[in-house]
Amino acid sequence: MTPQNKAAAGRRAGTKAGDGSNAKQQQLEGFTVEHPPTLTTNQGLQIPDNHNSLKAGVRGPTLLEDFILREKITHFDHERIPERAVHARGSAAHGYFHVYKSMSQFTCADFLQDPDAKTPVFVRFSTVAGSRGSADTVRDVRGFAVKFYTREGNYDLVGNNIPVFFIQDAMKFPDLIHAVKPEPHHEMPQAASAHDTFWDFASLMPESTHMLMWAMSDRAIPRSLRMMEGFGVHTFRFINSRGESHFVKFHWKPKLGVHGLLWDEAQKIAGKDADFHRRDLWEAIENGDFPEWELGVQIVPQDKEHSLGFDLLDPTKLIPEEMVPVQKIGKLVLNRNPDNFFAETEQVAFHPGHVVPGIDFSNDPLLQGRLFSYTDTQISRLGGANFHELPINKAVCPFHNMQRDGMHRQTIARGQVAYEPNTLGSGGAEFRVDGGSNGFQSFPEEIDPPKVRRRSPSFDDHFTQARLFFNSQSAAEKEHIVAAFRFELSKLEVPAIRQRMVDNLAHVDEKLARRVAEPLGIGEPDAKAAAGRAGFRDHRIALPIDESPALSMADTGDGSIRTRKIAILVADGVDSASLKPIRDALEQAGAQCKVVGPRLGTVASASRRQIDVDMTFANTPSVMFDAVLVPAGTDSAAALAAIGDAVHFVLEAYKHCKAICTVGEGVQLLSTLGIVADSDAPAGVVVAATPVTNLGDATAATQIAHDFIAAIAKHRHWDRANIDAVPA
């Protein structure tokens, strides 16, 4: 069975009852009613005509008595629910999690005990700022929320693809979101932070500086949802069976590595395929290329809380992995797409307060605010307090409470009691919650402070970790951060905001601030000006490290090219002897090859073989692919070189630092860059000048494929010179 068939079979097996397109049986007190597979009303009445409303004569008015029409239109009028205020645009998948070994030393959470058990999960990825209709590849934080359906209840690990946040206290969350959303007087720009209100806010909130470094990095424009990290952001607690507490930070590490897009590439993809990330996730699962992450934890003993030099409760800080290593404790696999987007992806309700015994909260002031906000949001968005009864949100373990009634109630509660304690419940047995040791137990932290509206001075360092992040980036990643700040700040209409922002950046790195400021029409960065502003706090700490390689995206992943998308450019006269062995090697290595030509249908090879064309230059650009192969063939190469879109396809891939392989005459498409068969090829470009006739030799073809695969595995080749001069 092929991976595609396996995935389809899994979907069929996982399809839930209740799909009106299938025959089903309804049990009513032992009475069975069979519904044939035909169109009915919501009450099961067969509809005789779904094309015409009931009228007084064929040209007469529609009759009010047409209850079938009224039901259909009324339901349609109410199909939409309020979209999420943040994380509105999302995509999701089902899967499972299993732990590698028992974590009983640190936590009594049941799903972290048995390596042989698989816990069902539902995972939703999202962008923060945009609406449901915005594009996938905007520069933004990505949500990474995991719902574990455990035997002790549902546990929601609600996080992002960035380990820190813009603000330290939930009191500022509405202000942050109001600032980054489209400006209210004209509702622009959509799904973008490059406007005055956001940077006005950010420039006046130095605590956002660390997060801004991440948001301006390639982390904010991931290549794929399958290729980004996830983080719990906040510090939580593990509680073991003895009641002992350890602080914990959660990490999701993708097996495929952490990879991003170029900004130019991300902008073009937004126009060519606004669903790029959503489609990539869906197709990977349909193809049987199930995305995988490992769950990692950083564990800090309770008595070491103040030993790191910064405050664990501060959500604008992370724990460098060199100080506290990440222990990989389990694996997450996504193996089934949703059956219905609205019922599952849209109606799923996450909440950081949905925890299980063995996991508890810290006093992070941003987390504490979120514990209130999420329930309030779901009640508004999903229509009432019973959102937990929707199938996608319902716990798989038995649950019982005294809650009753309300909108959209689905549970039919039996009996006469809806209170506790009672003696009138099932079987007459006394029902009482006795406050014993079972169930969820909060850690008994001793707290006896005065009530204050202040922040701890331990939250006052806003720049040390921002500097650590910048120092840890590769040369190319630093260039991308500079370019991102320049682009964003150049969109501002108020020069004073640009100036305030680069003044703040001077506290991170003076050279960074000067480079950002150069094209913005403002003065030199002035750190003293930033320090003189109201509310500015900069109490530096000394970290034991200046750089953290774990903060860079470079050299991540397992070195494979699994699921990478390769474009093979062809025209009539292509040499199949230089195409087939290389394509076979790529596909055996796990890559997905698509043949791109001037037209759909087939092209004829030089040996008269017909080669199927999957896509055309008109309907798919190079930004949809990870690498490009141009096989040999005199006529094919000449035809492609005469097609502007084909030449642009290769030059654009070159400009975006992707791997390119040309064989024989195929090098013509790179000739405008001065690359010819006998020249030294730039990084990531494989120029195979071997005569076509020799490619029948398995050794020659194998070597070309080997070199090309090695180039693809590096993801990008950022050290190419003068790419800004490439006309693409």
Distance CA 575, CA 629 (A): 13
Which of the 8 DSSP states describes residue 346?
A: I
Exactly one of 5, 50, 75, 160 is catalytic; which is it? 160
- What stretches of 305-445 adopt beta strand conformation (E)? 327-336, 359-361
Distance CA 346, CA 84 (A): 9
> How many other CB atoms are there within 10 angstroms of residue 131's CB atom?
15
φ, ψ at 174 (rounded to 5°) = -60, -35
Residue 371 token pair:
């514990």
- 315, 323, 423, 721 from 418: Cα distances, Å: 41, 52, 11, 73
Angle between helices 495-505 and 196-203 (to 10 degrees): 40
Distance CA 46, CA 36 (A): 9
Distance CA 88, CA 282 (A): 18
480 is known as an active-site residue: no
160 is known as an active-site residue: yes
Exactly one of 87, 94, 234, 259 is catalytic; which is it? 87
- What stretches of 532-677 adopt beta strand conformation (E)? 565-569, 592-597, 601-604, 610-613, 615-616, 627-630, 659-663
Distance CA 235, CA 129 (A): 24
φ, ψ at 161 (rounded to 5°) = -90, 10
In the numeric block, the tokens 């509660």 are attached to 413
What amino acid occupies position 284? A
- 355, 430, 457, 458, 465 from 314: Cα distances, Å: 21, 46, 11, 8, 12
Q: How does DSSP assign 134-150, residue by residue?
A: S-TTSS--EEEEEEEEE
Which of the 8 DSSP states describes residue 172?
A: G
- What stretches of 488-620 adopt beta strand conformation (E)? 565-569, 592-597, 601-604, 610-613, 615-616
Please identify every residue annotated as catalytic: 87, 160
